[in-house]
Structure 1
């Protein structure tokens, strides 16, 4: 593949363009917002404006409801030999394409990657590395179009997954769209958060509400395009919420039977939640490995996090996740480094040798604190301070 066009230079479109440009593809950027296209071009994503001749493939990075109309317009101008889109809903756009455009040179697509931020400045050429990228061919899809779309996926470092559009929409309703709505529902509870309560907010609240920071207009379009499937998932959650409310009301009473029943129901919900969480794939789609967090206390000054990460880079330990929780009352931060359980003790010892204050999780059974799940605690024991620091 030598040439491509990207229509829509937001987060996903610009990230696709950056990935293709990095692999030597000549990318042409088109957007109704020319300032967004110029920003993407300044980042190295390509050149602004239509190509002088049809490109190999055009990627339509537009909302689901716009795919059919944009495709028809770009086919009329002869933009590309093949077309794909990256909309997060597939059934509606597929119907629109059949009604409004030539479906033989189009294939639906959806890279399963994103951020809570939007716009070209949030983009990254590495956004799709190792992530699933769904393609939804139809009986009308031409072989050359499928092959060109597969090349785009490969050049972006993603893993192609071929699915039926309806099956895709049911799946993303559960794994993507409903989680965003639930995060927004939780975040909406914080609109009138008192100052004294805000000082108590920690990483758990940030984790639960992080994706609620997405663009409301974009997500309104996504939820509207997949409304029935999302409503089905939300209805099942509502049943569990009703059960949880009843169970907690029972726990709040003085009646022994109600308290016992409430405790059983809460335990069942929490157990099902942990079991469901264990189904979420780990890195590169693999089965989640048993990992533990190693917590490191750092000062809240410029360069401290970079110094820690430089130390970790020299330890030859594969870090699965990194997060930092700043203390609202003190000038310090708590960095969580998630690593394989077998690597944590050695890593802790080495970090202490380099002068870092480190904390390991509390002692646990074979699979966690109670022997039944991943050893991922949020508390842990006291910090293990290096001897030099302790004697200073």
Structure 2
């Protein structure tokens, strides 16, 4: 183990202000001259870009359901050279899947316990006062093996409200690290997958600077620094994912941006050349690429632009004649025949797969995925066991091609989104995280 102080920013539930605190704290610590390494606990692929903007260092996911000890160790090594780690949890502190009969498997609490990072719990005290202490005390006592630093009380309405809430915490023996008054202008813009992407925020730098100022005024930053502790796990076989090709043309713009940072870092570390291009700017992928990779994103917001992007479409069609093309979620839909947007407008896509998808009647698809490949996926052979995550609202209307994999959720229940393939082209609705260790 390598000593590396850190903390976990978590909450009893989603929507309590974790991300606002996270971004403000990252920026405040960086302004104080610290090298701050951000992490995201869980499979979220939007938050890390905000973390990068706030801290100046790339943020990485740590996921105790999807990742084995070797990969977790390899990713944690990205913190070497930093002064402190700050991780943002997902959902509520103890929320996870029930696989192996264990409540909270894959939870932020499990990440905090594994890394030894004390939890800073963001408690929304609106609509209550002393009663908030019962919530905080329950989270602190629920699993004594999870280190606990204290709470930040959020959305406090008045000095009297703060006094009463603090009194409850004092009586419960819960350490209060700060109290944030209620402010409606601190909410980050959202859309159906959560936050908008960092690249789409109209004035992200001003927003983050404002969060840092707000935290300095109301939170004891030094107390949080003093509470930080922990270590980085080490494993002899630790390594990031290997690249699926030497020269990889990677779609990268507002329509295609959901790629896990540890995946790209693994490709780069192994010497692969990543060749970004923008389908929205009608750029064709590099003609010398060995592989085209279309990540997920929001193609449904840009259906008309993509359908008219002749250079992009002809480029991937030409490439697919002799070399592999793979798409994840939004990228998968763009490789299909037709994408129907929420207004019911049909947009012709690349037509490399027969897939037809629709947002006209939204249906929520969310959860971890375990896939056993029936056919090759770039970098993996048939029979490979992969882990990933699915999060979208589109509905498959037609999928005439052969299924790519047998796909199940975290509890082993089969899901119908199997992915598909035709010739050199493949696609999945799940975002690849890693192959299973030892598989």
Fold agreement, TM-score > 0.5: no
Q: Which has the higher strand share?
A: 2
Q: Which has the higher helix share?
A: 1
Give the TM-score normalised by the residue count of structure 2. Answer: 0.27
Give the TM-score normalised by the residue count of structure 1. Answer: 0.29
